[in-house]
Structure 1
């Protein structure tokens, strides 16, 4: 089977689940703990052990996911996570629930939030329009909070959250301007747990098994496939209830798989799987490998271009991925390889 088809079907299969997670006691998803799948959830194949396949979790965005989220939210053209500390990894993968915010990263997040908020302040006409800031500033700020905050948290905000951010606006605008208040809201949101973390914990109404909320499903699917936040169509599917059916989820997955972001995501996963995504950070003894530093950037480009070529234009099989006698190289590598 073609490698790219396997990846697409795997993602579609994940989207086709009921949205229930394994019970806290380690029981089968949707089951009653005896492993027979009669609890109204998914019945696993015969011989499958009763295990918690998808434990409830809260995980921090990776650096790549943070950058994609910040761009979608603020429309920045910068790379806001480029200076961040490297992601923690599990088995080589950056997407995991071991990510933490230590003092070093907290400082970097604060700096990125300040820079991004300044950009938001300069885009009031696009992101926080207000016809009469002097008289309607707080009303306009409330609209901005619902729009900007809802996109940042990837779900509608509740009353307490809106009121809390309105308090932030009043602090920023007091003795200053409407724009200053909006800037402070943006800084607060971009450093909030609602923006930095993804939840897969449901709303507490699932009993022994956890059912993701529609907005958690939308975020889970989007970050799984595109490494970025849900778009308008996926959020609309969450709001309308379309994600409550396996057909609705599969339709959204197939749509997302056609995007360039999905291709970039698959390439990243394959490179992490093969352990070839950190060449730019690899060092070798220059006395032994004198040419390595000069061709290292080309090797970094080669690994990404090669995986992308296998997935898009070649046979797309695992055999070719691991055993191809060709590559995609530039002039420095041509000389280095003697090609």
Structure 2
């Protein structure tokens, strides 16, 4: 039975406008309007800071936007709200990826297609609910209207992640009455669930607290808003009972209590899923899905290895963060991985049996953390040869947070075919020696050459038409020269540029946007916390919850 909401077009507009995220309303020629719509416009600068960079003498937060639940967050929230583990978003439209992450606040409006899927999902979820598990009273023994109100009040607080306003309760009671008239008490409950699951208050994380601030002051988040920021950042789902209790008692007004909750949450298995998701986005792990290799050049490669390579990187990151050294150095340099009987031979490791990935020690002179894993090396290579250009770009953009321009229009991205007597390094050097190419390729190629010991499926090699030359240099940084990926990884682990970049990647993941000048104070606080912890990843996440940008929001422009 379906609760008849307004037309789907009206739903789409309602969802988008309620969260201030209607795409297409701004004049695309107006840079300021577009920045506001995308959530990247800085708030008004404080006195004396007309260039938009705050002095950090006072609290200052960057812009924030209402965040629509991602597919990952929606599934998790439905699981924790109703116990439904059927992944209802499987038919939802795919999500755009910005800078590696699919949770970007840009263009989070609702299309007609998505609104339709929300309606179908809500109907299916509501139909499958066991009423006795979510209704806190027995309607056969108490007043039906009173029981319905009690259900709406308690369930609504969890679904909307905040207490409901009296007017909201009354409106939902009207919906309950319509369902009850159509099919009894249980039908009324299902009508309410359908409606709530299509509400902007469920689908978006909307922050409206004013905190009594003046027009130009930073606005502290309410306890309920902080509970949601914590839960969706560290768990990718709704708050649990402990967070709700902390919000209700106003305990989250204390930074120490926020940190205490963050550490508690990092000890929960749900944090593992988020850490794996972050690394999947940051390291572009899903690009492994597009890997195609020449069966002539690499007969050992099979499509069955693709999901294993993805799982390898995620499991490695999870292990380092929660079971290993827990620090950036471990991520960058640990000489082990997770492999099974298919992957282990590519590492030259014998004796590994079975399909389950397990921890495997590797040669520390050949392997270093995330950088030399099979999936990354395979995805940053061509079908029949390596690509120092792609590998160098990965280090520049993902590890050092540097922007690299796209190739000029009309320039072919194809690499010369391998030929006898000429190494990949020699072919790339010859290809990019023209003056028009050197500006970018001086930044890319000398970094990528450091990975030439790894072929296009990630195996170690010592020869490429002669002995491998894996020396390189990271121009424009303090990293300098290196010989091979292992030394490069070690230098990156100690590099302030890389340490800062990793902190920024986590900021982007949490905030759902790229940093701006207005985030200067937050980023300084984050960098200081990361450094003070000895570059421990879990402590970096706790430090992020202590920043101005996490605890406050800027007033609307």
| TM-score interval, normalised by the smaller of the two chains | 0.7 to 0.9
Mapping for residues 68-83 of structure 1, pairs under 5 Å: 68-83=76-91
Does the CA contact (< 8 Å) of 1:271 and 1:307 recur in 2?
A: no
Q: CA deviation at 1:153?
A: 0.5
Q: Does 1:166 align with 2:173?
A: yes
2:285 maps to which residue?
276
> Alpha carbons of 1:321 and 1:109: their partners in 2 closer, same or farther (altered >3 Å)?
same
> Alpha carbons of 1:134 and 1:231: their partners in 2 closer, same or farther (altered >3 Å)?
closer
Structure 1: segments with no counterpart, 5+ residues: 1-21, 37-41
2:321 maps to which residue?
311
Describe the SS at the equivalent of 1:142.
helix
Does the CA contact (< 8 Å) of 2:153 and 2:164 recur in 1?
A: yes
Q: CA deviation at 1:113?
A: 1.2
Mapping for residues 1-339 of structure 1, pairs under 5 Å: 25-27=43-45, 32-35=46-49, 44=56, 53-98=61-106, 99-120=108-129, 123-133=130-140, 136-203=143-210, 205-207=212-214, 208=216, 209-277=218-286, 279=288, 281-282=289-290, 284=292, 291-335=301-345, 338-339=348-349
Describe the SS at the equivalent of 1:293.
coil
> Alpha carbons of 1:249 and 1:35: their partners in 2 closer, same or farther (altered >3 Å)?
farther
Does the CA contact (< 8 Å) of 2:77 and 2:238 recur in 1?
A: yes
Structure 2: segments with no counterpart, 5+ residues: 1-39, 350-557
Using the TM superposition, name which of 74-83 and 126-135 deviates more.
126-135
Describe the SS at the equivalent of 1:81.
helix
Which deviations, in whole Å up to 9, do the C-alpha atoms of 1:108-165 show, x marking residues without a partner? 2222211211122xx1111115434497332221111111111010000001111111
Does the CA contact (< 8 Å) of 1:133 and 1:140 recur in 2?
A: no
Q: CA deviation at 1:284?
A: 2.8
> Alpha carbons of 1:322 and 1:59: their partners in 2 closer, same or farther (altered >3 Å)?
same
TM-score where L is the length of structure 1 = 0.79
Q: Distance in 2 between matches of 1:253 and 1:201?
A: 23
Q: Distance in 2 between matches of 1:72 and 1:85?
A: 22
Does the CA contact (< 8 Å) of 2:75 and 2:89 recur in 1?
A: yes
> Alpha carbons of 1:43 and 1:152: their partners in 2 closer, same or farther (altered >3 Å)?
farther
> Alpha carbons of 1:132 and 1:70: their partners in 2 closer, same or farther (altered >3 Å)?
closer
Q: Distance in 2 between matches of 1:191 and 1:233?
A: 26
> Alpha carbons of 1:134 and 1:319: their partners in 2 closer, same or farther (altered >3 Å)?
closer
> Alpha carbons of 1:174 and 1:283: their partners in 2 closer, same or farther (altered >3 Å)?
farther
Which deviations, in whole Å up to 9, do the C-alpha atoms of 1:287-306 show, x marking residues without a partner? 67774422212122212211
- Over the aligned positions, Cα root-mean-square deviation in angstroms equals 2.9
Using the TM superposition, name which of 316-325 and 71-80 deviates more.
316-325
Describe the SS at the equivalent of 1:131.
coil
1:10 maps to which residue?
none
Does the CA contact (< 8 Å) of 1:23 and 1:210 recur in 2?
A: no
Does the CA contact (< 8 Å) of 2:71 and 2:89 recur in 1?
A: yes
Alignment length (residue pairs): 302
